[in-house]
Chains A and B, each alone.
Chain A
Amino acid sequence: MSQVTEDDQLTRLQEALDGAATGGIAVSVVAGVCLVGAFASFLLSMPFTVPFLLGFVGVTAYGWFAHQAETARTLMFVATVSTVTVLGLITFYVFLEAAPAFANMGVVELLTRLEQPLWNTETHVYSLVPLMWGTFVTTVLATLVAAPFGVAGALFISEIAPRTVREIIKPAVEVLAGIPSIVYGFIGFTVLNPYMTEKFLLAGQGSLFLAGIVIGFMALPTTVSVAEDAIASVPESMKSGSLALGSTDWQTMKSVTLPTALSGVSAGILLGVGRAIGETMAATVILGTVVELPDPLYDVFGNTITLTSAIAAQYGSAFGLHMNTLFAAGVVLFVTVMGLSIAAQYVEARMQRKLGGDV
């Protein structure tokens, strides 16, 4: 008797579950189709985006009440896929728009041309060399500021500062990382540029030197934060071991902590460099943004343009091949920074593996 009811109950439960599963799958499929439709229609600039979107919303709303677990899972999957899609779209569209510029000049010519004219929007002769040189010089200068100060700051926060000082400084540095770049640019433009003109008797507005220093200070809080995390993650046991052998704090820092945290610290510096390369507003506002190489090349007080500031300064008047060339600058930027990001991730993964053994 009881056996039968139990069986009965089981089958009914099974049926209900099956029903839910099929219902959930149906909802997921319909919602997916609607979303793909909306996306396709948007891609092709067709007028069906809104109806498809409404369909998606309707189906998921129904699914939320009828089959919440499956619907939620589908929605979360969609969210995950959208991240990859966004990166894919960015890559695709930036490369697509840049393609005519590469076709116009030829990839090698566009990236290495040194003869005049370097940049002529009438005859459409372009060279990205001055832009890349500007970015290179500002980045090197910025790294010269951000790397030593960043490592010193990180050591100070995690190893040297007394507890109370650390508890104030650590969040303060993080807050400072939030100062918008346009504010740095504005200060550079209104205060530091005139200062440079007066003290260094510069002829024109702006110099690579100043832009590099300002960007270095901008990247500094990021570098400090990441390097500090790396130094703090060095296991206490390693430091204690060194101290127990009679070395001083500084010897421990120099010979144990820093070498162990080296990968993390360099990841921090790489991230800082990435920020410096991609920094737009400060460079645009501080530099004179003229498309020519400084003469001689190493004249850091000269004026040129960076990949980012070329885009920001010229997009307004650009169309056709000129705009495509700006997109090509974007491609160079994108590829460089992506490479740095992957390098930083690799370095960090190595650190994890290295420290993972004994924690």
Chain B
Amino acid sequence: MSNRNATRSELVESDTSTYEVIAAATAAVGVLTSTLSFLTLAEIVPFEGGLGGIAMPTVFGAILSLLGVVTIGIGVVSAVGVVETTPDRDAGLVTAGAFGLLWAVVAGLVVSQSLGFGVVVWLPATLAVGVAVLFGAVFPKEDLGSTLPGGALALFAGAVFLTGTVGTGWSWSPPDLQASFTAPVVVPVVGIVGSLVTAWGAAKAHGAFGRRGRQRAAYMAIWLLAALVLTVLLYLLAFVTMKGAGRAFAGIGFGPGLSFNWPFLTNGVSLMEQSPGIWPAVVGTVWLVVGAVMMAVPLGIGAAVFLTEYAEQGRFTQVVEVATNGLWSTPSIVFGLFGYAFLVPRFGNTKSLFAGMLVLSFMLLPLVLITSRESLKSVPDEYRDASAALGVSRWETVRSVVLPAAMPGVVTGVILGVGRIAGETAPLLLVTAGEIFPAKQNAPAVLRSFQVDVVMGPPFLDVSNPALFEASSALPYQLYAIITAGLSSSNIENSLEFAWATAFVLLLVVLSFYAIGIATRTYFRRKISHE
């Protein structure tokens, strides 16, 4: 008796493991198919040529049909009890609703567009199919409910592609939209949907449905989404680097004698210039950042210290808090409008570097304030108490105990903030931006034009440094300017390349600030947690 039982359980186990392997393989094929679909959509895998001589719709049709059949099979095998699984009573209303919606869309499109029926027919048909699928998914046990609708969808899509109903040259122009949907878009998108719903069902089966199966499927979905997001963002960085790094680094090296040459960074744009560059924009950005930091950092830290160390928590701090968060979320273009209305008229009615510095410092201020406050708050109260117990005055405590302890956080905040304002374009358009392609000699020479003869009376401050009160370029503005100039300038050969190189330099500058800021923070956090 016991012997028989043992054999039986062995048998079941081996069955289950074959079943698991098939389910895992199906899920893997589904994921790979969706990857192939994304690559096709991104034109990394060419659509027109097909894959290995077979037209793309046929390839996707075959894979989807296979996935559909296997997924339905997996569900049926579990439902008739050939393998031991632990399905829940039903697939859940959310799942059923999603399947119902998908099928309703398919039905609606087929009835209205392929068969050409009017709204009187397609609306009821859509609703009927949707509700039918919803009930079909919610009534049977979970194993059938979560595999059948998805598998059938993949099978249907596969059939449509295999029969050539949607071929390589297919396209559909909806009557209301300006766009047409062509096969190179529709086939991979359908491929993504079909492969993912089947992969999801198969992943559930791999975990034998039930709680474990749900977790498998959900984890797979989340891993895929996260991978997709990261891939897109990293691809973006790689793409800009690939397109721009060549031009940006061209001709770099030691020139005549000991001088160091980096033509793209140290040249301007002019008729005589052999290899035009973005020097004025670089200088402009440097000055903008320096100016903004010089104004915003003391203000931000000062306010943070006042709020955490001096002010009573009450109405006043609340108002400041709301104002800070408000400033933080105010769109950058509104800062630009403000600068245009308030600063520009007061600086001789011209756009100027100084106005840009002020506006950017206003944008930087809330960030410095918020991060400084956070790090001041995280300084343990024991520090303050110990200092006070030694008879040290409040100000001395703040100066020599609290501030040094909070410094790492403050520095991190400032660096991250600088990264943000260095890439800011919109406000500069309204208050600072000058020429589209400035020559090297037009770079703002702030240091050289400091004039010592400060005149106390009228006119304004601008007596002391005219360069501050002239329009200037900046890296992000330079990129925008190239776009508005229509990617063509008589002084620049191949200005598209020039633009990519500018984008690359901008990314490099901004992301370096971010990387340094985050690295600093991580370093100090580790240090604190080790202490």
Contact = CB atoms under 8 A, between A and B. Distances in A.
Interface of A: 42, 45, 47, 49-51, 54, 68-69, 72-73, 75-80, 82-84, 86-90, 93-94, 96-97, 148-149, 152-153, 155-157, 160-161, 169, 171-183, 185-187, 189-191, 195, 199-203, 207, 209, 217, 220-221, 224, 247-251, 253-254, 271, 274, 277-281, 285, 296, 298-302, 308, 311-312, 315, 326-327, 330, 333-334, 337-338, 340-342, 344-345
B179 interface: yes
Contact of B306 (A77, A174, A220): A77
Contact of B330 (A199, A201, A249, A334): A334
A161 B222 CA distance: 10
A42 B346 contact: yes
Contact of A250 (B215, B225, B430, B476): B215
A interface, over-half SS:
helix
A177 to B, nearest CB: 8
Contacts of B221: 152
Nearest to B504: A183
A76 to B, nearest CB: 4
B483 A251 contact: no
A79 B300 contact: yes
Contacts of B324: 83
B429 A248 contact: no
Given A50-B460, A79-B303, A87 B229 contact: no
B225 A152 contact: yes
Contact of A83 (B185, B365, B423, B511): B365
Given A79-B301, A248-B211, 13 more contacts: A50-B460, A79-B298, A82-B303, A87-B326, A88-B323, A90-B327, A153-B225, A207-B178, A251-B211, A280-B333, A285-B483, A311-B336, A315-B340
A77 B326 CA distance: 19
Contacts of A79: 298-303, 306
7 closest A-B pairs (Cβ-Cβ)? A278-B331, A180-B423, A47-B458, A79-B302, A69-B395, A301-B179, A76-B306
B243 to A, nearest CB: 9
Nearest to A53: B461
B92 to A, nearest CB: 11
Contacts of B328: 341
Contacts of B236: 179, 187
A249 B215 contact: yes
A180 B522 contact: no
Contacts of B305: 76
B314 interface: no
Contacts of B496: 190
Given A76-B310, A333-B331, A181 B423 contact: yes
Interface stretch (B143-151, B254-262, B513-521): B513-521
B507 interface: yes
A201 B430 contact: no
A345 B330 contact: no
Nearest to A270: B329
28 contacts: A69-B396, A76-B310, A83-B303, A96-B341, A152-B222, A153-B226, A156-B222, A156-B223, A175-B515, A177-B514, A178-B419, A178-B510, A178-B511, A178-B513, A179-B423, A180-B423, A182-B425, A183-B479, A190-B499, A200-B185, A209-B179, A224-B229, A278-B332, A296-B176, A299-B176, A302-B177, A311-B333, A338-B330
B393 interface: yes
Given A161-B226, A250-B214, A285-B480, A199 B182 contact: yes
A85 B1 CA distance: 88
Interface string B448-474: 000000101111110000000000000
Interface string B22-38: 00000000000000000
A155 B378 CA distance: 26
A315 B514 CA distance: 31
A86 B365 contact: yes
Nearest to A169: B230
Contacts of B511: 175, 178-179
Contact of B429 (A189, A250, A312): A312
Nearest to B457: A47
Given A187-B239, A201-B182, A281-B480, A84 B319 contact: yes
Given A47-B459, A172-B230, A327-B337, A299 B518 contact: no
Given A72-B395, A94-B334, A250-B219, A87 B185 contact: no
B200 interface: no
B271 interface: no
With a 10 A CB-CB cut-off, give which of A86, A155, A207, A217 has the most chain B CB atoms.
Answer: A86
Contacts of A186: 479, 483, 499, 503
B386 interface: no
A174 B457 CA distance: 49
Contact of B460 (A49, A247, A312): A49
Contact of B222 (A82, A160, A171, A308): A160
Contacts of B430: 311, 315
A176 B423 CA distance: 13
B306 A80 contact: yes
Contacts of B12: none
B420 A178 contact: yes
B362 interface: yes
Interface in B296-325: 298-303, 305-307, 310-311, 319-320, 322-325
Interface string B234-254: 101101100000000000000
A178 B415 CA distance: 11
Contacts of B234: 172
A356 to B, nearest CB: 15
Contacts of B303: 76, 79-80, 82-83
B184 interface: yes
Contacts of B459: 47
B184 A199 contact: yes
A289 B268 CA distance: 31
A333 B338 CA distance: 13
Contacts of B480: 182, 185, 281, 285
Nearest to A88: B323
Contact of B325 (A47, A153, A171, A345): A345
A68 B400 CA distance: 13
